[in-house]
Chains A and B, each alone.
Chain A
Amino acid sequence: MNVLIYLVPMALLLGLTGLIAFLWSLRSGQYEDLDGAAIRILPDDDLGPRKE
């Protein structure tokens, strides 16, 4: 059962990382415009002029 000594903290750490990531994304306003985020990826004018 000694394996628990590092497995349990690892599991908790992973979960905590997820929680902190979520709280960070909430704070930085990533949930303010859910529909907009879904369609903002469609226009590809950020790729610059196409080489033909």
Chain B
Amino acid sequence: MAETLDLSMFVARGEAGAAHMTLAVEGVACAGCIRKIETGLAKLPGVIDARLNFTQRRLAVDWREDEIDAERIIAAIEAIGYRAHPFAPERVEAADGAEAKRLLKCLAVAGFAAMNVMLLSVSIWAGNVSDMTQETRDLFHWLSALIALPAAAYAGQPFFQSALRGIRTRSLNMDVPISVGVILALGLSVFETAAHATHAYFDSAIMLLFFLLCGRYLDLAMRRKTRLFAGNLASLKAEFAHRLEASGELVRVPVAALHPGDRLLVRPGERVPADGTVIGGSSAIDDSLVTGETLNRSVGAGATIYAGSIAISGALTMRVTAAGAGTLVEEVEELLQKATAAKSQTVRLADRAARLYAPVVHAMAALTALGWLVAGASIHDAIVIAIAVLIITCPCAIALAIPAVQVVAAGALFRSGVILNSGDAIERLAVVDTVVFDKTGTLTLPEPQIEETAGIDPHVLERAARLALSSRHPLAAALARAARERRPYPDAIETPGQGVRAMIDGNEARLGSAGFCGVADEGQGAAAPRGDASIITFVHAGKAVRIAIRQALRPDAVAVVKALRERGLHIIVLSGDRREAVAPVAHALGVGDWRADLTPTEKVAIIETLKSRSRGVLMVGDGLNDAPALAAAHVSLSPITAAHLAQAHADALFLGDKLEPVLRAVGGARRARSLMLQNLALAAAYNALAVPIAVAGLITPLIAALAMSGSSLLVTLNALRARLGS
């Protein structure tokens, strides 16, 4: 059957047959790679331009459609030696990019204004203690106003807008006191300048904006970086489906382009690409990514199957149904809605600080004005001093205290393989005291592994593994990973659901079920399999070998669970799998608190019970059935191999075969939280020191500038410690 590839959903068409596509490229590591790919593509007829973005590992290609097509371009990149995956940029990413550009522009304007205003301010400070005339000082003040007012109007927009939003929704955020402080400082300075006064605070206002914009830009840059990376990963593992057209033709389409009603072919060894019903064929399917159940289930026409299951023994024809039509998916969706609605919005540390901070500071300024009036000062002097209090307490340090730590901690976690989905996940991770693990795919590796290689002759194993390269069966895939020689035997023939055979060194070799290999079935003698292991038989030159393959624990699962327990965390295992499969895992990990045979509803119920006992729950899971539990828990982690729905509801994803990132995430988050608290304490201490001076009316713009930049630097340097000691 001829098969064509349909990539049209990734291709943007321009005028006169011009086309554009973005690809995520794997394996780009050096300057040579850029040159090889770009010049290699430029040589192809029809390619107009190819540009590789090394930071994002993405390739943008423009070509003329009448001369070359997307498929040939991908094949050409593969021929050069790199794997490229078509990529559909998400809308969030584009919005992030635009926002980053806007912040950078604001930052540039604020930086320019801060430098030039400071140039004038330093002259004024120096002039105030020497021989500057009043006319010169006024000129410098007016010049400062000329620079600072338009610059603040432009660069302050991110804060003013967010403050307005906050006021409209009646939630006090940090941007409200910031905006109030900046506007009052500028207003007071203009007023004072007009009255030929000695002091104006143009420099303080604009410097404050500059510092805060730095923090905000870094925060966004970090989030953008993790999102770009996650986007690349998603396209790397994006799957294709075989769609049966009305004409009977078979077309490979990206899963994202599927619609309800499409007819698909699922071959043995392939993942079911979408939810749907079987309309033809029958097969055993592995549901472990969906329900956690490791025992295969057999399906025939009329059965409901879910995206993520693997067809094992036969080919299936299926019809895609609209999302949420299957019974399990319906249950999960309903639970998800409830869990998301019920999720008590944990108040972020920064917002809590803002709620405490703003009323205190504003009340203090009012009291200062009142106090000076009572003490007999003029209205003008009282107001000037009150505004000076507001300027000196402007929450530069407080507003930087938490984002700075978040940026550094998120960067450190990123380097150890944890990708954060939400910014405040760090704060929530830091306060967990209970860790709930799913079993299948979370504590165990998502793919089955060879159980023991010790008793098998390495040469025999190598031949079996190389023969397994020709099979699509998931068990064979586990064996195939052991092959050192990556070329399959040339004449290997697969009988789907049975096994593979080939001629090796003149003798026939067979790999597959015992029946296919013509040897007695297992279950006899000493080599009977333990528990839920599956057996592959390999026969070559009359000698038979049995290789046991099973779901293995992640290599460091035991050590990580032990380390988590040493940190005072309670460990629970909740699985949708059978008791017989969960018990040995729980035993190996030394976990006493475990439950098996759970439905998604029961998992959520257990987590809700834990939460009602005011436990902080971290849920680690990967299956479709875990998604509601992930949403219900305080904070959640998923391995990168998790089902799509589970990933969407996890607060962070972790990479690799090891469980260690879970430990690192908890450790890093705890350290980050203590740094955040330290920073808040530093900021409070700074205020305690500076406020009395301001209340006493002794503040000058020089002191304000020194205090503000000093405290900002202090909290930023302290935040950098989140990098250390991981």
The residues of A with any CB-CB pair to B shorter than 8 Å are 1, 4, 8, 11-12, 15-16, 18-19, 22-23, 26, 31-36, 39-40, 42-43, 45
Taking the complex as formed, is B715 at the interface, i.e. its CB lies under 8 A from any CB of chain A?
Answer: no
Given contacts A1-B136, A31-B104, A43-B35, contact A18 B54 (CB under 8 A): no
Given contacts A15-B112, A19-B108, contact A43 B32 (CB under 8 A): yes
B31 touches A18 (CB 8 A): no
Known: A4-B136, A35-B54, A36-B55. 17 other contacts (CB 8 A): A1-B133, A1-B136, A11-B119, A12-B147, A15-B112, A15-B116, A19-B108, A19-B112, A26-B104, A26-B108, A34-B55, A36-B34, A36-B54, A39-B30, A40-B31, A43-B31, A43-B35
Task: Give Cα A20 to B632, complex, Å.
Answer: 50
B533 CB to nearest A CB, Å:
46
Taking the complex as formed, is B259 at the interface, i.e. its CB lies under 8 A from any CB of chain A?
Answer: no
Given contacts A11-B119, A43-B35, contact A36 B53 (CB under 8 A): yes
A8 touches B143 (CB 8 A): yes
Contact with A along B96-132 (1 / 0, CB 8 A): 0000010011001100100110010000000000000
A15 touches B136 (CB 8 A): no
A22 touches B56 (CB 8 A): no
* Chain A residues positioned under 8 Å from B24 (CB to CB): none
Given contacts A19-B108, A36-B53, contact A12 B116 (CB under 8 A): yes
Task: Give Cα A39 to B54, complex, Å.
Answer: 9
B54 touches A23 (CB 8 A): no
Taking the complex as formed, is B312 at the interface, i.e. its CB lies under 8 A from any CB of chain A?
Answer: no
B99 CB to nearest A CB, Å:
14
B30 touches A26 (CB 8 A): no
Give the residues from 184 to 226 in chain B that come closer than 8 angstroms, CB to CB, to chain A: none
Q: Which of B52, B55, B116, B136 contacts A11 (CB 8 A)?
A: B116
Q: Which of B31, B54, B105 contacts A26 (CB 8 A)?
A: B105
Given contacts A15-B115, A35-B55, contact A22 B136 (CB under 8 A): no
For chain B, what secondary structure do more than half of its interface residues adopt (helix, strand, loop), or is it mixed? helix
User: Which residue of chain A has its CB nearest to the CB of B100?
Assistant: A31
The residues of B with any CB-CB pair to A shorter than 8 Å are 30-32, 34-35, 52-56, 101, 104-105, 108-109, 112, 115-116, 119, 133, 136, 139, 143, 147
Task: Give Cα A31 to B32, complex, Å.
Answer: 21
* Chain B residues positioned under 8 Å from A8 (CB to CB): 143
B31 touches A42 (CB 8 A): yes
A23 touches B105 (CB 8 A): yes
B53 touches A32 (CB 8 A): yes
Task: Give Cα A11 to B116, complex, Å.
Answer: 8
Number of A-B contacts (CB under 8 A): 53
B484 CB to nearest A CB, Å:
33
Task: Give Cα A17 to B133, complex, Å.
Answer: 30
* Chain B residues positioned under 8 Å from A36 (CB to CB): 34, 52-55
B112 touches A16 (CB 8 A): yes
B35 touches A45 (CB 8 A): yes
* Chain B residues positioned under 8 Å from A12 (CB to CB): 116, 143, 147
A selection of 30 A-B contacts at a CB cut-off of 8 Å is: A1-B133, A1-B136, A4-B136, A4-B139, A11-B116, A15-B112, A15-B116, A16-B112, A23-B105, A26-B101, A26-B105, A26-B108, A31-B104, A32-B53, A33-B53, A34-B55, A35-B54, A36-B34, A36-B52, A36-B54, A36-B55, A39-B30, A39-B31, A39-B54, A40-B31, A40-B34, A40-B54, A43-B31, A43-B34, A45-B35
Given contacts A12-B147, A39-B31, contact A23 B116 (CB under 8 A): no
Given contacts A39-B34, A40-B34, A43-B31, contact A33 B108 (CB under 8 A): no
Q: Which 8 residue pairs are nearest across A and B when measured between Cβ atoms?
A: A36-B54, A42-B31, A19-B112, A39-B31, A35-B55, A33-B53, A33-B55, A15-B116
* Chain B residues positioned under 8 Å from A11 (CB to CB): 116, 119
* Chain B residues positioned under 8 Å from A35 (CB to CB): 54-55
User: Which residue of chain A has its CB nearest to the CB of B58?
Assistant: A33
Task: Give Cα A26 to B109, complex, Å.
Answer: 13
B23 CB to nearest A CB, Å:
15
Task: Give Cα A36 to B34, complex, Å.
Answer: 8
A33 touches B35 (CB 8 A): no
B56 touches A33 (CB 8 A): yes
Task: Give Cα A40 to B143, complex, Å.
Answer: 43
User: Which residue of chain B has its CB nearest to the CB of A42?
Assistant: B31
* Chain A residues positioned under 8 Å from B31 (CB to CB): 39-40, 42-43
Task: Give Cα A43 to B119, complex, Å.
Answer: 43
Task: Give Cα A1 to B136, complex, Å.
Answer: 8
* Chain B residues positioned under 8 Å from A42 (CB to CB): 31
Task: Give Cα A46 to B34, complex, Å.
Answer: 14
* Chain A residues positioned under 8 Å from B32 (CB to CB): 43
Task: Give Cα A39 to B109, complex, Å.
Answer: 29
* Chain B residues positioned under 8 Å from A34 (CB to CB): 55
Task: Give Cα A40 to B31, complex, Å.
Answer: 6
Task: Give Cα A35 to B29, complex, Å.
Answer: 11
User: Which residue of chain B has its CB nearest to the CB of A8?
Assistant: B143
* Chain B residues positioned under 8 Å from A39 (CB to CB): 30-31, 34, 54
* Chain B residues positioned under 8 Å from A19 (CB to CB): 108-109, 112
A38 CB to nearest B CB, Å:
8
Q: Which of B53, B108, B119, B139 contacts A23 (CB 8 A)?
A: B108
* Chain B residues positioned under 8 Å from A22 (CB to CB): 108
User: Which residue of chain A has its CB nearest to the CB of B146?
Assistant: A12
A18 CB to nearest B CB, Å:
7
A18 touches B116 (CB 8 A): no
A50 CB to nearest B CB, Å:
17
A18 touches B112 (CB 8 A): yes
User: Which residue of chain B has its CB nearest to the CB of A37?
Assistant: B54
* Chain A residues positioned under 8 Å from B35 (CB to CB): 43, 45
Task: Give Cα A45 to B35, complex, Å.
Answer: 9
Task: Give Cα A4 to B143, complex, Å.
Answer: 12
* Chain B residues positioned under 8 Å from A18 (CB to CB): 112
A24 CB to nearest B CB, Å:
11
* Chain A residues positioned under 8 Å from B133 (CB to CB): 1
* Chain A residues positioned under 8 Å from B30 (CB to CB): 39
* Chain A residues positioned under 8 Å from B105 (CB to CB): 23, 26
B377 CB to nearest A CB, Å:
34
User: Which residue of chain B has its CB nearest to the CB of A31?
Assistant: B104
A3 CB to nearest B CB, Å:
11
